[in-house]
Chains A and B, each alone.
Chain A
Amino acid sequence: MKTILFTIGYIVYFMGLGIGTKLMVLRFMGLETGQRRLSNLLSHGLFTGLLTHVLLLNSLQLLNTSNVLMLSVVTLAFLLCSSFIIYAFISGDGLHNSTHISHHQVITISAIVIASLVITWNSYYVPNLAWDSWTVWIARAKQWYHHGLGVTFVQPLTWLDSSDGLLNLSSHYPDGLSLIFYPMLFLSDYLKPVLLGFYLIIYGFLVLLMCNRLEKIAAPFYLRMLLVVVMYTTPLMVNHLLLPGYADLIMAIFILLIMLGLLDYNDQAKPSLRLLIIAYAVMLPLIKIEGWVWLIIFLFSHSFIMWFNMKQRLAVLSALLVIFLTWFLLGGLSLNTPFGPLVISPAEINLFNKAYLSFGFTNVTEAVINGLFWQFNWSILWFGLPFLVFYMVVLKHNKAQQVSHLFFSLAFLVILALFYLTPAAKYALDYTAVNRIFLQLMPCYIFLIFSMLTTLVNRTEPSKRLQTV
């Protein structure tokens, strides 16, 4: 019971923070608040709340605040946001449109709740076994909890010689996820139950958002229910809910949120939606380092489709190709700067000795095929890929869809390039990384598959009607 209350309280905190910040920012900028349906308001509130929370705590880290001051600031921020929400509500602005709840929505939410309960039934007794969770993300939150948010993390050799700084092997990882977990430690020393509830709820809201979006493009109810089933029966995604505490699923959620935001923006080009997309994009590199890669791919896909017409795109592509060929043939760029070496060559990338990557071909085809198809991980999902590619190429799509298609294709190719061309190949060969990295694209891929099915169902509908007439 305590766990349930803690979890709900935690979620309400994020929602309050998110909705409040949204209202305040839009009011401050003099923008229209853009009323949406209740489920969308709450879900986006929750997800923007996560970003607000991370940014708020990031700033408090800089000020080297004590835990007590941090708690006071966070409580104050929540109270401020809540008061603003209440003010907006009373002043008749209306936070969301129609309160009518359709019976479809009730069934969808019930299905999500039942699926979450089934997962809880499986996972409730299991302690926090997720290895990365307790060695990296929670460990860091625990260090902040005991030593203050402002502590610096260092690597072993620096640690031995320094008098300040705590040892943390993942000191170069972004703080986002640990900052999200960190306040949980004030509720209980044993995080697992609250963590499970937290993961299930944010995942549930994501599934609900996907269903809402499909409903908007006139997907029949049975297809939306199938989406719920697929989201809760894809083995690897469920594993990440059963043993909560990994970053990959959270990353996957934000990638999909950007995509949904873009589609919404395409329907109605409101500035508030644009801000929302930027907020979600900012969150990517705050969760994991590979977030930078997704962010760059997203920015490229977005600008490539939105800013240029067909002719210009060809010009951009040719220019990129020329730059690539020149770079490749000249053997790349190699500079010695006062900050260290800067090398970007076909053999290696070295950014001032801070980031290093060497290139070399490894054949990982068997590992990738095994991981995506024959292991007990994805069911029959990846068999849909050729159909999706065919659908992307042959049919005409609006610009937002084009961006999402380009993003997915590029991200997929980048993952393959990573495994084939870099030392990451060893994580592909031992099967620990192929599935984990693809997991980050999974909700996005599933959503694209269901968008495709919706389009196809709706295209054949008229002919069916003609037949029956």
Chain B
Amino acid sequence: MAFTQYREIFLLLQHRPFFYWIITIGVFVLTAVCWFLFIPADNQDSTLESLNITTSFEVPTGRYYQTDGRYHLDMSGTTQMKLPFKNLPESLSSYDFFVLSGLDSKQSINLFITAELLVSEHSAPVTFKQKLITHRQSINKLNEPWPSAVKISALALIVESEISLGFGADFNNEVSWQSIQLTDSNQINQSTQLFSELFAFVPLSYSSINIHNGENLFIYKSLLSWLAVWILICTGAFLIIKPAMNHLVMSIALAWFSAGLVYGSNFVQQASFNQQRFAGHDPYLNRIDQGLKDIANRIDKAIKSQSHYSSSNKILIIGGENFNNKRLKFHLLHHNVGIIGRDISQLKDHEYTNDYAVLLPPFNEACEPDSQNTAVTASSVVLKSSQFCLIAL
């Protein structure tokens, strides 16, 4: 009997890969289960009920309405909205989770909650601000000092458009959700929260693609640390059990795919965001850019119609290297164009012959008849509109 047992173990040992996978997959599943299902020990049996605050905030009339079980916030013509909550109990600190369900938006948005916190009875109030996850199911654990605050007041939700590259003025879509709730950890399912954080949309930063906009990438750190430790365990198991190397490579591939799942989900979200955002498929970066192209066309026409026109005439765009100036310059590159100076007074320092200056807001005020600025005389204004002013130097 004993001999047969030993023989069986010996036979099993022949199957090194089998052992290797039993151990490593075992560790993988076990740690994943612990991570996803582990609920922090809470000795108090909480009887706290979730606080539904979907309709408890103040909004300008006509901006917030309900259809098909969803609440819509109309953001037309604005890039930021502060929505102060009213009639909330003062003892909010036991509600340490802020949950936005069914969040949807055609634009890239940032959400924050802000509040005034009193950490102890005698201290001065501190301002609390936390960025919220912009995922369909946005479950946010509220950071310190929220849970330990004695009194919480002036709670507000801030909705703002992602303004990189001047997308702000383009923001005319609505944001919608099913419900907003304040709740505590007992009501929150750990795995739902983790999924919400892992698969939250971290959009590409268009102005510098070398970083991602997500400030809250703590969850990604946890995921990668977990996978790194697992690969280390796999390497240990590999050195002890000595299966063929390809099994270790497969483990590495598995770790790559686990992290890749998160990236893949983000990639798909980025794709659908891009398709909605740039559905028109035109070459302009945004509507501001399109407006700048129109301005460039008008400047081009005005300059070419001048009697002393030559392609070497300089066009100076005044006001520094910001997005608007840079794009206008880009659209005028067929001229001898450049962005110069931070303000209009610099024009006085040089001699110009048949050159032009373009003044975008706020510098175009200098072209107004009642302007105090002596750099621009009424006779030098070639073209003027509410958006810009072209002067001959």
Residues on A close to B: CB < 8 A?
A: 121-131, 134-135, 139, 142-143, 146-147, 156, 159-161, 163-164, 166-167, 169, 189-190, 192, 220, 222-223, 226, 229-230, 233, 235-236, 238-240, 242-243, 246, 373-377, 379-380, 383, 387, 431-436, 439, 453, 456-457, 459-461, 463-464, 467
Contact = CB atoms under 8 A, between A and B. Distances in A.
A379 B260 contact: yes
B84 interface: no
A454 to B, nearest CB: 10
B358 interface: no
B29 interface: no
Given A222-B246, A374-B220, A439-B210, 14 more contacts: A121-B271, A126-B278, A127-B283, A147-B334, A160-B314, A166-B338, A240-B209, A242-B204, A246-B209, A380-B228, A380-B231, A431-B211, A453-B252, A461-B244
Q: Residue among A147, A246, A374, A379 with the most chain B CB within 10 A? A: A379
Contact of B210 (A121, A431, A456): A431
B267 A376 contact: no
A22 to B, nearest CB: 34
Interface in B348-387: 350
B312 A164 contact: yes
Nearest to A235: B263
A123 B348 CA distance: 46
B279 interface: yes
Contact of B338 (A124, A161, A167): A167
B284 A127 contact: yes
Q: Residue among B242, B244, B337 with the most chain A CB within 10 A? A: B244
B330 to A, nearest CB: 6
B337 to A, nearest CB: 7
B249 interface: yes
A189 B228 CA distance: 47
B333 interface: yes
Contacts of B334: 142, 146-147
A13 B214 CA distance: 41
A128 B207 CA distance: 11
A166 B220 contact: no
A459 B245 contact: yes
Q: In the complex, which range does the number of interface residues on chain B fall in?
A: 35 or more
Interface in B304-355: 311-312, 314, 321, 326, 329-330, 333-334, 336-340, 350
30 contacts: A127-B283, A129-B285, A131-B207, A146-B333, A146-B334, A147-B311, A147-B334, A156-B338, A160-B314, A160-B350, A164-B312, A222-B249, A223-B249, A226-B256, A238-B267, A242-B204, A243-B209, A373-B221, A375-B211, A376-B214, A377-B211, A431-B210, A432-B211, A435-B210, A435-B211, A436-B210, A453-B245, A457-B249, A464-B244, A467-B16
A387 B228 CA distance: 12
A135 B217 contact: no
Contacts of B206: 129-131, 243
Contacts of B321: 169
B274 A122 contact: yes
Given A230-B256, A380-B255, A461-B244, A122 B212 contact: no
A280 to B, nearest CB: 25
B246 A161 contact: no
A379 B283 CA distance: 32
B275 interface: yes
B47 interface: no
B224 A374 contact: yes
Contact of B275 (A125, A130, A246, A453): A125
A377 B205 CA distance: 12
A383 B340 contact: no
Contact of A233 (B256, B282, B283): B256
B337 A167 contact: yes
Interface string B251-290: 0110110011001101100110011011101111100000
A315 to B, nearest CB: 38
B333 A139 contact: yes
A325 B33 CA distance: 56
Interface in B3-17: 14, 16
A127 B333 contact: no
Given A128-B283, A146-B333, A383-B231, A374 B221 contact: yes
Nearest to B329: A139
B227 interface: yes
B330 A139 contact: yes
Contact of B217 (A131, A160, A164, A375): A375
A146 B333 CA distance: 8
B208 interface: yes
A373 B224 contact: yes
B165 interface: yes
Contacts of A453: 245, 249, 252
B152 interface: no
